[in-house]
Chains A and B, each alone.
Chain A
Amino acid sequence: MKFFRPIPGYWCKIMKITLGQVFIAILLTSVSYASSSSAQKMLNNPVTLSVEKTSLGKALKMIEKQADVKFAYSKSIINIDQQVSVSANGQSLDEVLSSLLTPIGISYRVVNQRIVLSNTSPPKIAVAADSSGTDIASLYQAFPVSGKIVDENGQPLPGVSVRINKSDQGTISDPNGSFTLNSVKETDTLNFSFIGYQNQSVAVGNQKVFTIKMVPSSADVLKEVVVVGYGTSTKANLTTSIGSVKGSEVNERPTSLNALQGLAGKVAGVNIMENSGRPGGAPEVTIRGISSINSSLAPLYVIDGFVGADPTTIDPSIIESVDVYKDAAASAIYGSRGANGVIVITTKKGKDGVSQIAFNNSVSFGSLEREIPLLNASEFTEMLRRQYAYVPGRIAPNDDPNNNFTRKTDLFDSNGNPKYNTDWQKAATRTAVSDNHSLTFTGGKDGLNILANFSYRNNQGILLNSYQKQLSAYINVGWDVKPWLHIQANINSFASQGNNPETNTFGLNAVREMYEFPDIFPVTYPDGTASRKGDYPGLEDSENPVTLLNEIKNVSGVLNTTGNFVGTFHIVKHLDFNTTFSGQTGSTYTNYFAPNNLDQISEAQNGVAQRTNGTSASWTNENYFSYDNQFKDHHLNVIAGVSWYDYRTSSTFAGAENFFDNTFEDYNLGVGTVVEPPSSSQSENQRNSFFTRANYNYKEKYFLEASLRDDGTSKVGVNNQYGLFPSFSAAWRISNEDFFKKQSTISNLKLRGSYGVVGNSEIPNYSTITQYVSSPTVFNGNEAAAVTLSSSFGNPNLRWEKDKQADIGIDAGFLHDRIQVVADVYNKTSTDLLYNKLLPATSGYSNAWDNIGSIRNRGFEITVNTVNITNKDFKWSTSVNFSVNRSKVLNINGDTLYSVTTFGRVVKGDPLNEFYGYIREGVWGTSEAAQAAKFSGSVPGDVKYADLNHDGVLDAGDQTDLGNAMPSWQAEMTNTISYKNFTFYLDLEGMYGNNVYNVPAALMEDPNPNVNSFKSILSAWTPTNQNTLQPELRLPNDHFSYSNVDNYYLQNASFLRVRNVALSYTFTQAWLKTILVKTLNIGVNVENALLFTKYKGYDPEASSFGGGLEQGLDVYQYPKPRTVSLSLNATF
């Protein structure tokens, strides 16, 4: 192996020099890392000092220096001005503190390398009977007390709850912070509580007037830890736009299969489209709009430091928090991979000394949320009769005495009316029963903490036979191996399996047939045969949806294991070295089988069986130094490191046809005598990055942060493999200014600003290389090798796509953070778009990847969290988020991109996701025959489109923008109301201004349907009903008539959804302890409870081809269920 290979670029040089110096420094310098992390060792430090009558504060400072320790205390509890004397000569710190502090009523303990001082608990008041010398009578005599409550700045604090002995009795402080209680006893304790402040208890004794100073709570939301790339921060100190969600919020909806479903609606600016009701369907996540045309739009997921993880593979109940990096400055530390935002998931860790078992269970019942208005059997028969009657005298086969088709007497009575009326939406669906179970063990001891989790989820789909099962096992271990070494290791093993009987979106699949199968047919005839559409002459033949769901097997699954190992070396004080090794191995499979009797699917082939297998593996190694130090009022944190990533994947396909028997399914492909061409593939890609970030603050008032990442990828051109991604951000925490502390209305105020550049290179592998495609061809019936040029010209000059984003935000808290507001505006410009540019066909290629054009996304987001009411028994809090995003194509090199699948157009000056087509004006009337013929070769009864360019004929110039697939705004509101042990939860989701193209309606309301249709088709044009948008009914071969993409089927998909409504009860009764239960909670929950929309399909939040530019096309969507679930959660 050859070391010192020529490393490209300045970065490698810099790394060499700096690392070299560090290397030498460590070799030559004696590592002074004396202080032990263990508490006892710290207290053993020797102290030598002698002071007389000095303030406690000064004395503590001197001890800090002497013993190399840090004290932590609140000045409102510890009076540091009191005079003390200390004299010590090499005694242990423990002895010194004991003699200094115990006499003045102060206790101490070591927490996190700091010595925390607190008041010694007040001495217990002796119990009446035995206490000698106490006036027993006075103890029981009630008297009035009053007092004043102030905040940490001495300002009056209204609204503080004052309780006697934690009972129901008590009051609330008035606007002046004053309170009065009429009847308390000497033995009573007063409890003061207020959100955002620590609870305080004061024994009454003989005191009549109290002055209570409330201390801000350490559980203050602003102090919540936020995970930033390669480190942590707190909400208060953030300079960037990061949305944080607690694990408990992710798990509010018990039916969520994965973290992404749980995250839906929780963060402003994060659009999570649950586009299908299919079990196991992963939602589409878009952060702050679509910023790329051809490159990936998916955010980067990081789980416990494992970069590029799959968030669907962990049990959501072990999630401690989710942090969503929305602006470029937050994401820039992940450089190229952060272009679409970063979602960081942190799992729970075991806590020292607390062993706990959590057991979560739910069972749920899903059913079709609503039916769409399709024709019933008699309406369908009417449609047939009208179609046939288009030609005078022609009668429908069911009415025609001369037409005795095979199933006529089974289907129709002697008057030609249908005998059956099968509601296929009911017949093809069921009440889906699902159950989820999760078991989590957590605990910690002596520097070792552990979490072990096992979960099983079995989700049935509402379509017959569809299901998704998941099994995951997760272990997370943290260990202080040595005073200078901490390791964190986790392993996640995940398996899932699901059956989706409806494959092939446009084909004769089960979902499509659920829409299109006429109600005149039974599921099976009395003789046991299943009905087919072709049983009625002239209808498009196909199996019925029940047959398809029962007979087709399309089972796919994932097996995935990830391991992540993080080692943290405390090299010297303030300097850590972190190294991460992560690995992932996975496999996927799809097993397909269609038996020998399915019309147009497997009948001609006499059975079809296929297996597709894929494997993937990746490893990541990241190494970085982190330095963190406080110099008086200056705090500095710096990280710098390097990252390596390697990913490879391969797949294999095999298939066979012509099976003499159905029992083999896909388990023995060798039985099939006709072999489908096998195929396989392999590809890999690599990344290498260098990154650094510096973060500085002064007195937690002024914050500055800058980061730089240099990213290399194998995917872009050899000459541009490395791209530089800088970011800057700053914040001013105005509320920490002295001038601001005089008021108490605004408890927190911070202004933030950031600018950063992130990259995107998520394009197909090998886009820089022109390739040959090798696929067989045939000569005289025999296959022969054939090689052709691929349709894509390889562009060796590809560069990174760059997203430049500026963000200005404000974080504010009012009334002691009872009202919290986070608002952001951003402007994101994506340039050098990795665009699969269309080439003139004369070049011989259809496209080439190139860096072309730019897109802008601008938006506004606001989140408001309020605690509306809080008192002992009743608490009501609300969280509202609202976001607006507007996209605009600034430049795509003059190209116009039409999408066949989405009926969309991407063109300069327009927003993305714009549908494009004709305007339906009505139907040509009898008096307009000549005009109709001239305009579009139409006849009366045909659809009439608007002549937008007024040239008298229907042509491309008559098309226009029809509407957008993305919402103009979206909002989410959650309310949590608790009364005593009951908690009520209500989650409302709304989108406005989005449109969905209703393809089923467009196809089924075709003027010449030979399938079932919507009820609205009965309003079709007739000579006596000319004022309609529905063209005249005819048989398919009566007359050329075709539908263009038009505004009629682009339907308003604005909606308001009661996404979730839940009621739970938490048991607090004493008997729980007798059965070893710590907490017990039961709940009932209705997911997708109510939907208000004008959209005519199943659900307006729909897309059949995924998100991004494909959003908003409903092609026979899998209907979404309404799910009622019961949950039982216990901890032991």
Chain B
Amino acid sequence: MKRLYILLPIIVIYFSSCKKFLAEKPYGVLSPSDYYTSSNQIRAAVDGLYTGLSGYYASELAVATAPVFDLEYITGYTARPRSATPDQVQYLQLPVTYNNGDAETFWTSTYYPVENCNSVIANLSTSTVVDSATRHKELGEAYFLRAYYYFNAVRLFGSIPLKITPTTGIDNVQIGKSTPDAIYAQIVSDLTFAEGSGLPWTDVSGHVNMGAVKSLLTKVYLTMAGYPLQKGSSYYQLAYNKSLEVINNGSYSLFAKYSDLRSSALQNTGEQIFMIQRSYTYTPDNNIMHFDLLPYPTEPISILPDNGGAMAPDPAFYNSYSNSDVRKQNQQFYYTSHTQYGATNVITLPMPYIYKYWDDLAEQTGKNGLNNPVIRYADVLLMCAEAKSMVDGGTTSDAAAVSAYFKVHNRAFPTATQPASITTDQVQMERYWELAYEFQTWFDMTRTRRAFDVANNKMVDLIGYKAPQHSKAFAESDLVIPIPLTEIQKDPNLK
């Protein structure tokens, strides 16, 4: 009996297995080795590629901060009513230095989503679980999004690394920079693939559609025609042609009222070609714009009035709008008064604030779920006009171009009459007014190397122009953001 007692524990040790015992068994997470086995899995991976679109909007520790605002601060036409972080001050005043934390966010908001695209493209290209038409469309979404992420990055940083295959190990992760030429070539190639992928022209769900692909390609060609590649007239022509494909397709039209741009019922339709999708109910996808753009110091005009002060129009820029411009009227693109929240009395604001992102529901519920516009039809129309005017040497009387311009202008000036011809400067100024605070202006300034001299109401050369909010004039070195020091430390090839 005694022996038996002694034996028992020995038996326990003796027959225990080792390797099996230590095998990791992850729960609730997926690993790439056993993914891409069903169409649902593939759809979820493709939908995951869209999450990178809101990278620039990531809120930081301080109130009313997100890197996306820097894209307006750097133009010099944007004030920040609330006190700024050191990172923001660099954009507000220039120059932006190599240790800017927001630049790090722009960088990671490019390459993390790109890696997701690379992974989806690599896995989906060889997948047989979905039919080829579906696979093609889904690849089209992935190629479009990769092109979009690269397009933003190359415009911000200039020469950047080009990585189009997934990472397989941590030993060879230091890759050097590629020229903007190579990056643009890849962008065009990706968008060209997406053009041929059979995507529908419109998609009310907010997924990538053919209009988005061709509109983006228009903008890519327009940018390649300008700085830094300066491919010139032939690319303006390509941009013009591509924009006409969108316009002539007829799927898109301008909203009659500016307030429709803020209508949750009209999202992903009409003028809204491509948007960052937001939610009123799913908190991580709430929009920050309504609350961050509230007046500062606080005015009690919304249920949560305290977190505003991110952006306000520079007074000189605001005053550059004609007084008869509908966009300048109260509660169109800007506002100077608003009723008190939960009351009827009107509160007059000490200065104009941006109304473009005002969300009537957010004012009541505290949650902002309006989508953020990425590509608007108005943008495409103005690109059409600008491209043709450049092809034609600065002035054009091309009917399509003039009409495209006039559609946008006419909405702001309902009593205006269509001109016979338009100039490039005229179109570019219209872009400033129409697309103000939609994070387009900086890219227009760098591709054209022109600036809107708001004091004198005319277009001037960008280099040497001191924007109203800046502490110095633009220099060549201000046109791209330095690659963040932290990235150079991790990959010295980026120096």
Q: Which A residues lie at the B interface, using CB under 8 A?
A: 3-9, 11-12, 15-16, 19-20, 22-23, 26-27, 31, 484-485, 506, 534, 537-538, 540-541, 567, 569, 571, 577, 579, 600, 603-605, 621, 623, 642, 644, 646, 674, 676-677, 680-688, 712-715, 718, 721, 765-766, 768-791, 793-795, 837-846, 848, 850, 894-896, 898, 900, 933, 937, 955-956, 1006, 1008, 1010, 1035-1037, 1040-1042, 1044
Contacts and interface: CB of A to CB of B under 8 A. Distances in A.
Contacts of A848: 170
A789 B17 contact: no
Given A841-B487, A844-B111, A844-B115, A23 B10 contact: yes
B428 to A, nearest CB: 29
Interface string B469-494: 00100000000000001110111001
Given A5-B20, A23-B14, A789 B116 contact: yes
A770 B111 contact: no
B114 interface: yes
B296 to A, nearest CB: 6
A771 B29 contact: yes
A26 B10 CA distance: 11
A714 B22 contact: yes
B47 A786 contact: yes
B369 A839 contact: no
B107 A777 contact: no
A1037 B296 contact: yes
A777 B85 contact: no
Nearest to A1006: B83
B302 to A, nearest CB: 10
Contacts of B112: 789, 791, 841, 844-846
B13 A837 contact: no
A873 B82 CA distance: 71
Interface in B85-101: 85-86, 89, 92-93, 97-99
Given A769-B31, A783-B279, A26 B6 contact: yes
Given A838-B490, A843-B115, A896-B489, 9 more contacts: A27-B3, A604-B304, A713-B22, A772-B45, A774-B29, A841-B108, A841-B111, A844-B111, A895-B489
Given A786-B47, A787-B30, A850-B170, A780 B81 contact: no
B278 interface: yes
A1036 B297 contact: yes
B415 interface: no
Contacts of A896: 486, 489
Given A841-B487, A1042-B83, A12 B282 contact: no
Contacts of B51: 777, 786, 788
Contacts of A785: 40, 43-44, 47
Contacts of A784: 44, 47
A850 B169 CA distance: 12
Which one of A600, A623, A778, A956 has the greatest number of beta carbons of chain B within 10 Å? Answer: A778
A895 B490 contact: yes
Kindly list the 4 A-B residue pairs having the minimum CB-CB distance in the complex, ordered from nearest.
A844-B115, A604-B366, A5-B17, A840-B491
30 contacts: A4-B15, A5-B19, A9-B18, A19-B13, A23-B14, A604-B367, A681-B27, A683-B28, A684-B25, A688-B16, A766-B24, A766-B29, A771-B30, A771-B31, A774-B29, A778-B277, A779-B50, A780-B205, A781-B279, A785-B47, A786-B51, A788-B45, A788-B52, A788-B116, A789-B119, A842-B173, A844-B118, A844-B163, A1035-B297, A1037-B83
A871 B298 CA distance: 74
Contact of B2 (A31, A795, A841, A1040): A31
Contacts of B204: 780
A7 B22 CA distance: 11
B268 interface: yes
Given A785-B43, A788-B116, A843-B173, A771 B26 contact: yes
Nearest to A775: B284
B306 A541 contact: yes
Given A765-B24, A785-B44, A787-B41, A840 B116 contact: no
Which one of B23, B111, B471 has the greatest number of beta carbons of chain A within 10 Å? Answer: B111
Which one of B24, B26, B206, B268 has the greatest number of beta carbons of chain A within 10 Å? Answer: B24
A12 B19 CA distance: 10
Nearest to A846: B108
Contacts of A768: 24
A1040 B97 contact: no
Contacts of A1010: 297
B127 to A, nearest CB: 14
Contacts of A850: 170
Interface in B247-288: 264, 267-268, 277-285
Given A506-B61, A541-B298, A604-B304, A956 B26 contact: no
Which one of B18, B80, B119, B304 has the greatest number of beta carbons of chain A within 10 Å? Answer: B18
A16 B485 CA distance: 56
B26 A769 contact: yes
B31 A772 contact: yes
A16 to B, nearest CB: 7
Contacts of A623: 9-10, 12-13
Interface string B35-57: 10000110111011111100000
A31 B7 CA distance: 13
A19 B14 CA distance: 7
B326 interface: no
B31 A843 contact: no
B185 interface: no
Contacts of A676: 283
A780 B277 contact: yes
A934 to B, nearest CB: 10
B349 interface: no
Given A768-B24, A840-B490, A956-B98, A789 B115 contact: yes
B179 interface: no
Given A777-B50, A1041-B83, A7 B282 contact: no
A1042 B471 contact: no
Nearest to B99: A956
B295 to A, nearest CB: 10
Interface string B44-85: 110111111000000001000000000000000000111111
B309 interface: yes
Nearest to B485: A956
Nearest to B284: A775
B116 A844 contact: yes
Contacts of B491: 840, 842
A900 B16 CA distance: 47
A70 B435 CA distance: 99
Nearest to B300: A534
A691 to B, nearest CB: 13
Given A683-B27, A684-B25, A713-B22, A569 B6 contact: yes
B87 to A, nearest CB: 9
Nearest to B207: A779
B14 A795 contact: no
B58 to A, nearest CB: 13
A955 B99 contact: yes
Contacts of A712: 18, 22
A621 B15 CA distance: 14
A680 B6 contact: no
A9 B89 CA distance: 59
A256 B2 CA distance: 46
B174 interface: yes
Contacts of A839: 170, 173, 490
A772 B40 contact: no
Given A23-B10, A540-B306, A841-B112, A674 B281 contact: yes
A1038 B115 CA distance: 43
B226 interface: no
A23 B7 contact: yes
A15 B43 contact: no
Nearest to A5: B17
A1037 B365 CA distance: 27
Given A577-B6, A774-B44, A1042-B85, A842 B163 contact: yes
